[in-house]
Structure 1
């Protein structure tokens, strides 16, 4: 697989004149923040700058810092506008895999209202009548159980900060390794949440595009047979 040849290196899943689809490493920011740590947008812009002057790069969606997986960027304003419209229309389909503790049912739909404390960078579930709370909806299906852990396939109907992590933890199914929202979790940023599937319409060719990404061969993913297939 092609790489950006940056520090850290970022695998490139697909690239043409309009799109850049990458495999975001865990513990890399989606975009620049106050920490000054490496971020996807800056690294990918540097990669593009080797072949063009002042490259455009549009951030279509974000992944939380500790989350790895498929992440889509646009290489020109027209593609960015078309893909952003697909996000608003909810026609871009994203699938996440999450390894959780607890005892989730075979499938479910979770609806909460979430409020972000920007000073602490923490999202909390609040009552629906609070003005600052934003409605968050996701659905999940349990794919497999192994050693008191569950492998869930998760689909978002809304895109809120930390949404999957907060909603699952609130129901008693915290994600493995998520020290921010899970109780008795190890203090580490490489949590078991990964963007593994992405379907969208090409902004120029109008063709349906579909990509899948296998989870890494390490703990806790290797405990599940479906993750190794």
Structure 2
């Protein structure tokens, strides 16, 4: 990537789509690579003007506003090992759907949805590199790093708000395929158990079932039984961190090769059939399109490793 310089005074007109966004958040998105402290300093000192007036960081933009930016040097992340250009190129082939307001990606396992926690690179950074002309690209929801499958990204702020409202109203239908230990009962259709998130000193997040936790529910349907495992469809009704993984463990059927909530003996038996990654895949995603208001459904095919694992289990 090359450095991008705002070394002259810039005037930016705000499009109606950004109506309601705080100016500090707008500038943090616009000025990638600029320290937050510098952004807040130029706001506090009045060097950023909106319609020729000083504004506070919490000012909410309105369509038609004109922003004056002072000269700023923007250092973008340097291209190098941390920006995995081969993965950026590969991600293009994982796009399941794209139009003017949305992108749906079949996220590969092992790729974080965004940089952070020691990672400088994730799906959203890769998409911004692939779509440099896109003024707005934000995650609608998240997937764990080792979970693969359908991931929704908004290309307009209005689409993001529309889809977040659908998530709050539980009209987004997310269905996962999980390979779990043992024989999941055909008549066990849901797990309801409150979940509490704990942050360890290392920064690692661990979730556990706790009476003090937040109400959580996952619906289940058995897809296939094997000798020592079951393939289930899991539909999260609530959207808690690591919800499906912890609910499977709580039910006595941990997910294959789950390094946080799994079973070592089961993991070893799965390694024997060639599985080395978490078998949790966001298989289908359904929602109302923010513009057309049509019901949209996307299906992400299982990757080669998951497909081969099922094939081996069927042969045993």
TM-score interval, smaller chain: 0.7 to 0.9
1:46 equivalent to 2:129? Answer: yes
Instruction: Identify the residue that residue 163 of structure 2 maps to in structure 1.
Output: 83
Describe how 1:97-176 pairs up with structure 2 within 5 A. 97-106=177-186, 107-119=188-200, 120-127=204-211, 130=212, 133-176=213-256
- The 1-side partners of 2:155 and 2:309 are apart by 35
How far apart, in 1, do the equivalents of 2:312 and 2:165 lie? 38
SS class of match (1:221):
helix
Q: Which runs of 5+ in 1 are unaligned?
A: none
Once the two structures are superposed, residues 57-80 of structure 1 have per-residue CA deviations (whole angstroms, 9 ceiling, x without a partner) of 121110011000010010010111
Paired positions, count: 214
Structure 2 stretches lacking a partner, 5+ long: 1-83
Alignment partner of 1:31 is 2:111: no
Q: Is the 8 A contact 1:215 1:221 kept in 2?
A: no
Residue 221 (1) aligns with residue 300 (2): no
Deviation at 1:113, TM superposition (A): 0.9
Counterpart CA distance in 1 for 2:210 and 2:312 is 35
TM-score, structure 1 length as denominator? 0.87
TM-score, structure 2 normalization: 0.64
1:13 is aligned to 96
CA distance in 2 between counterparts of 1:104 and 1:91 reads 27
RMSD, matched Cα: 2.0
Secondary structure of the structure 2 residue equivalent to 1:153: strand
Larger deviation, residues 153-162 vs 26-35: 26-35
Dislocated runs of 4+, deviation >3 Å:
186-189
Give me the whole-angstrom Cα distance separating, in 1, the residues matched to 2:189 and 2:278: 22
Q: Which residue does 1:204 correspond to in 2?
A: 291
Higher helix share: 2
